[in-house]
Structure 1
Amino acid sequence: MKRYGFGIDVGGTAIKMGLFTTDGELIEKWEIKTNKEDQGSRIFDDIAKQIDEKLSERNISKSEVAGIGIGVPGPVKADGTVVKCVNVGWGILNVEQELATRTGLTVKAGNDANIAALGEMWKGGGRGCQNLLLVTLGTGVGGGIIIEGNMLYGSNGAGGEIGHVVVDKHETEVCGCGKKGCLEQYASANGIVRMTKKALATETRDTVLNTIENLTAKDIFDAAKSNDTVAAEQVEKMGNILGTALASIACVINPERIVIGGGVSKAGKILIDVIEKHFMEQTFHACRNAEFALAELGNDAGIYGGACLILQNA
């Protein structure tokens, strides 16, 4: 009986790694620096070395390991091929083949946001659900979609890229993706700060936000919690845009639960409440039973999801 699996989360700065039992117990987690030299060609060797050392350290044979599940920061096709991972320097390559060749273990790969959604479904805010949407609100807006317990890859690995749904065709500023009016420009940490600064440029009412030199999303939510009217209006605007976008997405995937994660999710109940309010106002009646929850696994969602990906069929 194979008793172990590895979950790997490759980021632009660090590679998070976890050793799990088949029932989902995290035995140990650690991380190494992401070596992006030579277009990231050394990353697979670094991961393989870490796995070999960990197995040796714990006296585990490879015959006891179901395999490796790995999430990477870019689109991943169902066969493990990445189209491009700018943050680590990769072009087109097959992650599963590259890592399997170096380790001799079975490898399954996915986009990092989809992998995180799988982790939240397995051991986090999505426990008990088989149809799930994870929304990550950080520097940008990411998404992971789980349908009947499986990740939605899409034909080019771009399933779940909800941050680039266009929500305002009249926007004049350009999103990082090159388009204009993407959800990410309004609902991310950078997005709500951008909207708030534009509003403050013409605002005549008193607000604590005008006294903060380097304004952050946390500042805005904290001010809204303290009944600052201007801040509350910006939170409401963000909630309206995001809730309405999710209402449309729900009509396509009909999730049981929508899990909100990422740094902005630390705002807590005020964020969930405003998103859910606008979602319920806008979505199709058959989708209104979707529950909202905060993500629970934090930065560990990727390693949990990687382990789930390889262990769910072990």
Structure 2
Amino acid sequence: MKYCFGVDVGGTTVKLGLFTVEGELLDKWEIKTYTENEGERILPDVTKAIKEKIAEKKLAADEICGIGVGVPAPVDKNGAIERAANVGWKAKEIKKELEELTGYPCVIGNDANVAALGEMWKGAGEGEKDLIMVTLGTGVGGGIIIDGHPVVGAHGAGGEIGHITVRNDETETCGCGRKGCLEQYASATGLVRLTKRYFEKNAKNSILNKKEITAKEVFDAAKAGDEAALEITEEFGAYLGQALVNLAATVDPAVFVIGGGVSKAGDILLDIVRKYFYDHAFYGNQKTKILLATLGNDAGIYGAAKQVL
């Protein structure tokens, strides 16, 4: 039997999984991410965790075909990054360092691309080779898979869906330094921004007037039929739908997979986005499916492992 490891490096924890090459998840666990001193402990800690698991499971060295890693940064073709602020890394040759530490072949990818690969392999996109994953969390992440391979691009910035411009009249600045990015409206923080702006202009009676506003509260209010919340989520859906329409015309995926914390809103989110998409999409994209991600927080380790294979 042959095995591989999938590693998803995040700002708080590193998630790890041991897989068979057929894609069966045999074990998963987490270790803390120590970001101090430019994240110097992260790769040695990952190495220790993997070697301990190999010993625990009594695996032979020649049974391990490699280690796949997803990291929160653009990754170049040599498995190196310029920086990954969330984990403290500056310029780092991750592939080279981890191969020296572990003695196994390593494949490094951007975490959003890797999560998309996971959903294609064993998640909502299983059976498809052309897929776009949109992750709606604190920000908006994305991964584009064409013919089974992630689109990395010339500078490692392929699939940065959150930074598609959807408004030209925006005055506030996105975290990336630009204005009018999708992330400013279709993330959890973006939905809160839309809600606050809505109530600055509208004095409507709403469930939301009495609550501390979160993305969950807005969708819960919309599910309860709250008129203001329905208008706000429609606006949210129009921005996201507009981005998907443009992506579909460019890439023509078989499926969009929507994940991240905001996707927990479920069917109401899908209904809003599908309505906008199918009303506005080019006729050649009308068969594109829009589905919710199914792997949750495990998408990263699945995709990381799939990179190796």
How many angstroms apart in 2 are the aligned matches of 1:13 and 1:270? Answer: 30
1:258 aligned residue: 256
| Aligned-partner residue type, residue 49 of structure 1 | K
Does residue 283 of the first structure (1) align with residue 275 of the second (2)?
no
SS in 1 for 2:85: coil
| Aligned-partner residue type, residue 188 of structure 1 | S
Q: What are the residue-to-residue correspondences of 1:180-199 with 2, within 5 Å?
A: 180-199=179-198
1:274 aligned residue: 272
Query: 1:281 deviation in Å?
Result: 2.0
SS in 1 for 2:18: strand
More deviation, 9-18/71-80: 71-80
Query: 1:118 deviation in Å?
Result: 0.3
1:293 aligned residue: 291
Query: 1:204 deviation in Å?
Result: 2.0
Query: 1:116 deviation in Å?
Result: 0.2
| RMSD of aligned residue pairs (Cα, Å) | 0.9
How many angstroms apart in 1 are the aligned matches of 2:45 and 2:61? Answer: 18
1:179 aligned residue: 178
SS in 2 for 1:201: helix
1:79 aligned residue: 78
Question: Could you tell me the percent identity over the aligned residues?
Answer: 53
1:218 aligned residue: 216
Query: 1:294 deviation in Å?
Result: 0.4
Residue ranges of structure 1 left out of the alignment (5+ in a row): none
Query: 1:42 deviation in Å?
Result: 1.6
| Aligned-partner residue type, residue 155 of structure 1 | A
SS in 1 for 2:274: helix
| Aligned-partner residue type, residue 222 of structure 2 | A
SS in 1 for 2:65: strand
1:60 aligned residue: 59
| Aligned-partner residue type, residue 240 of structure 2 | L
Query: Structure 2 vs 1, CA of residues 90 and 22 (structure 1 numbering), >3 Å: closer, same or farther?
Result: same
Query: 1:202 deviation in Å?
Result: 2.7
Query: 1:252 deviation in Å?
Result: 1.2
1:246 aligned residue: 244
| Aligned-partner residue type, residue 283 of structure 1 | A
Moved over 4 A (4+): none
Q: Deviations over 1:34-79 (max 9, x none)?
A: 1112101221111111111111111101210010000000101222
How many angstroms apart in 2 are the aligned matches of 1:16 and 1:90? Answer: 18
How many angstroms apart in 2 are the aligned matches of 1:240 and 1:273? Answer: 12
SS in 1 for 2:133: strand
Contact 1:20/1:307, CA 8 A, preserved across alignment: yes
How many angstroms apart in 2 are the aligned matches of 1:153 and 1:204? Answer: 46
1:168 aligned residue: 167
How many angstroms apart in 2 are the aligned matches of 1:74 and 1:200? Answer: 36
1:33 aligned residue: 32
1:122 aligned residue: 121
Contact 1:82/1:93, CA 8 A, preserved across alignment: yes
2:134 aligned residue: 135
| Aligned-partner residue type, residue 295 of structure 1 | A
How many angstroms apart in 2 are the aligned matches of 1:36 and 1:115? Answer: 21
Residue ranges of structure 2 left out of the alignment (5+ in a row): none
Query: 1:245 deviation in Å?
Result: 1.0
Query: 1:251 deviation in Å?
Result: 1.2
Contact 1:7/1:69, CA 8 A, preserved across alignment: yes
How many angstroms apart in 2 are the aligned matches of 1:106 and 1:164? Answer: 33
2:226 aligned residue: 228
Query: 1:276 deviation in Å?
Result: 1.2
SS in 1 for 2:101: helix
* Equivalent residue pairs, number: 309
**TM-score, normalization: structure 1?**
0.97
Contact 1:40/1:88, CA 8 A, preserved across alignment: yes
Q: Deviations over 1:204-260 (max 9, x none)?
A: 221111010x21011111111111110000010010111011100111111000000
2:101 aligned residue: 102
